[in-house]
A and B are shown apart, each in its own frame.
Chain A
Amino acid sequence: MTTPSGATIRLEQARRLYHAGQPDEVRALDGVDLTISPGEYLSIEGPSGSGKTTLLNLLGLLDVPTQGRVLWQGAPVERLPERERTRLRRTGIGFIFQRFYLLPTLTALENVELPLQARGLAGAARRRRAQALLAQVGLSDREGSFPHQLSGGEEQRVAIARALANSPQLLLADEPTGELDSVRARQVLDLLEEAHRSTGAAVVVVTHNPTVAARAARHLTMRDGRIVTDSGGR
């Protein structure tokens, strides 16, 4: 199988088993082929246990397939050591989690600075970039606030700013509005769309919510570890 040139990430016959070879073996992902191109906006829907999060973990290089290949910008990465996969995550992938996952001991600004610091950006430049990102998500006035001083919507906006910090080529969002009311959910989705437009990054949103999925240009549906529908792709 050849890799389409220019794909951001591609899974080839990716299979992820848990407790492989044991009586309680779980086939979380079962031979998935998926190509995500630069600038795509894609949603993944499916019932609980259908393999959405496992797929997202493989796309985010947080996990490796039991079988199959993962190609990041054309290069196989499934056998790379954790150190290398961390470097790729740092430079190419942004994460937005359902539960925000901000570090509670850091302020909003420091949370956004974290990936920049990991990349080795010096103090003043790092601060300026983080401030600009917080301004972009409308939280300039909450720079010094700790996560517990922010509302859920604000926390998720900080998380988006953090995800955008290193200008990723791939933005992964796992139920980004799962813990928000409809007004704040809409604000967060607007921000995601704006980030997608302004950065040109591919965006993958895992969701249960049809309204959220409707914002994407391409829709995947998963069931029992397989992609059962893939509509609207390029």
Chain B
Amino acid sequence: MNAGRWSSRWRSLRHRTAQTILAIAAIGAAVALPVVLLSVGGGVFSHELSSIEESGFSISIDSAASHGISNAHALTKEIDAISGVQAASPMLSVPVDLFPPGGSVVPVLAEGVIPAAFLETQSAAERSLLPSSLSLGDPDDTIHYDNGTYAGPSSAQLLLSTPLLQTLDLTSGTVVGLSPSTNASAGSAFTIVGSFGLPPGLLGPSPLFVALLPLSQLQSLVGLAHSPTGTLLDSADSIQIAMVPSLAASPSGVQRVASEVQGLVPYYSVTSLTQQTTEIEGAEAIITGFYVGLSSIGLIVGLLFLVIILLRRVEQERQSIGIRRAIGVPGWMVARDIVAEALGLTLGGVCVGVAGGILTVELLARYTSGTISDIASLAVFDPAELVLLAIALVGLALLASFLPVRRALRLSLPEVLR
């Protein structure tokens, strides 16, 4: 009989170990979810914010319509005249076809810029990817533009992105064709005068095949210099405005200039990066709230599991609890043991969950590709956030032990010891 009794206790111990493992795994899985979501989400947002902070420009003018900013050259001059503005750089992006020697056709993204202004509105990191001076003929793009007549001589020069240059095996000095359509005769010939590197994409791949050329020449090429009726269009997609260094770090200075610019172009959207930062921070708060809400579901499921396991243990150990109560062990000591068990399981789950979350993000960054890998590699593990998560779980574990403690303290001793 003794052997049977102890063999049954051994089975019960094994069962208890299995329960412990299950509880820790369930809480660990519930913890890993917020660790992954919050670290990745936080990483993406902080990367966005640091990109903005490191940006070379402080104000951006955008139009809702495609290529919707008109009179870009003239407007740029007006903006340049505003006190505190270092440079205003209009930009036009249009997909075109490139015709390298040999008869093939390659779609590329053509970026039209005013070379000198473009350089001044780039961050230090972006400038390091460009040639020291954008040798595209006329740095101010005024010769070909010629006061809106587009009658001046064209430099017909362009820079190609390094991946495009390497893929097509092209070199500086090569003449290529650019056309708004697959019809090469509708385009013009350009001479490659150099190459530039591409900044890493924030989320997902950025275009690899890019051509950089003077704004006026791209406008002429794609019909955005004049409308078919001859009206001056001088279109751009956006104008980026860099501040003089003394004002760049001053939100009020930036805001003053943004207001002046808005006065010039009340029909376009003028945003300062300070505003963008505020908007991103707002979006981050909303997304973080969503992640926390989503994670809460997992945590609640994990804690329900914990409650069930603790209740089960109280049921299994009702005799031990009864003996302790019978010999005078106070209720608070019995409660303390159950709470300690809940905390032990929860802290075990937190450790497993945090380690599992970090490992998951690491594996995603290393062994996946594309957007998932890019996002995972931006993850930031904020120790304060992890500590808060652990504290929240400890609080929830205390809550989870309430029912089992109540059950343990309400056991009928005569029944348990029968």
Contacts and interface: CB of A to CB of B under 8 A. Distances in A.
B192 to A, nearest CB: 80
Contacts of B226: none
B324 A103 contact: yes
B127 interface: no
Counting chain B CB atoms within 10 Å of each CB, the highest count among A53, A89, A166 belongs to A89
Contact of B327 (A57, A87, A118, A148): A118
B146 to A, nearest CB: 94
B9 A90 contact: no
Nearest to A88: B328
Contacts of B325: 86
Contact of A91 (B319, B320, B328): B328
Interface string B335-361: 000000000000000000000000000
Interface string A82-107: 11001101110111010001011100
Contacts of A57: 413-414
A90 B327 contact: yes
Nearest to B416: A62
Contacts of A196: none
What size tier do the contact residues of chain B reach?
20 to 34
A166 B326 contact: no
Interface string A170-194: 0000000000000000000000000
Nearest to B320: A103
Interface in B177-228: none
Interface in B306-330: 319-320, 323-330
Interface in B1-43: 2, 6, 9
A118 B2 contact: no
Interface string A117-128: 111000000000
Given A63-B414, A104-B9, A148-B9, A86 B331 contact: yes
Given A62-B413, A118-B333, A148-B9, A101 B328 contact: no
B375 to A, nearest CB: 48
A38 interface: no
B4 to A, nearest CB: 12
A60 interface: yes
B327 to A, nearest CB: 5
B417 A115 contact: no
Contacts of B324: 103, 114, 118
Chain B residues touching A, majority SS: helix
A162 interface: yes
A77 to B, nearest CB: 14
Contacts of B328: 86-87, 89-91, 93, 115, 118-119, 166
A89 B326 contact: yes
Contacts of B320: 103-105
A162 B328 CA distance: 11
Nearest to B6: A148
A8 B173 CA distance: 114
Given A104-B9, A152-B2, A114 B414 contact: no
B326 to A, nearest CB: 6
Interface residues of A, number: 31
B405 to A, nearest CB: 14
A82 to B, nearest CB: 7
A89 B325 CA distance: 9
A53 B418 CA distance: 8
Counting chain A CB atoms within 10 Å of each CB, the highest count among B319, B320, B414, B418 belongs to B414
A232 B129 CA distance: 108
Contacts of A103: 320, 323-324
Interface in B374-404: none
A195 B2 CA distance: 27
Contacts of B327: 89-90, 94-95, 114-115, 118, 162-163
A63 B9 CA distance: 28
B186 to A, nearest CB: 88
A217 to B, nearest CB: 26
Nearest to B409: A82
A93 B326 CA distance: 9
B342 to A, nearest CB: 18
A54 B412 CA distance: 13
A101 B417 contact: yes
A191 to B, nearest CB: 18
Interface string A65-89: 0000000000000000011001101
B330 A118 contact: yes
Contacts of A89: 326-328
B319 A101 contact: yes
Contacts of B323: 101, 103
A52 to B, nearest CB: 12
Contacts of B333: 118
A118 B329 contact: yes
Contacts of A117: 329
Given A118-B328, A148-B9, A97 B414 contact: no
A77 B327 CA distance: 17
B173 to A, nearest CB: 85
A86 B417 CA distance: 15
Contacts of A104: 9, 320
Contact of B329 (A53, A62, A114): A114
5 contacts: A53-B414, A53-B418, A54-B414, A103-B323, A162-B327
Given A82-B331, A118-B327, 13 more contacts: A62-B326, A62-B413, A62-B414, A82-B409, A87-B328, A90-B330, A93-B328, A94-B327, A95-B327, A105-B320, A114-B327, A115-B327, A118-B328
Closest 3 CB pairs of A and B: A90-B328, A118-B329, A62-B413
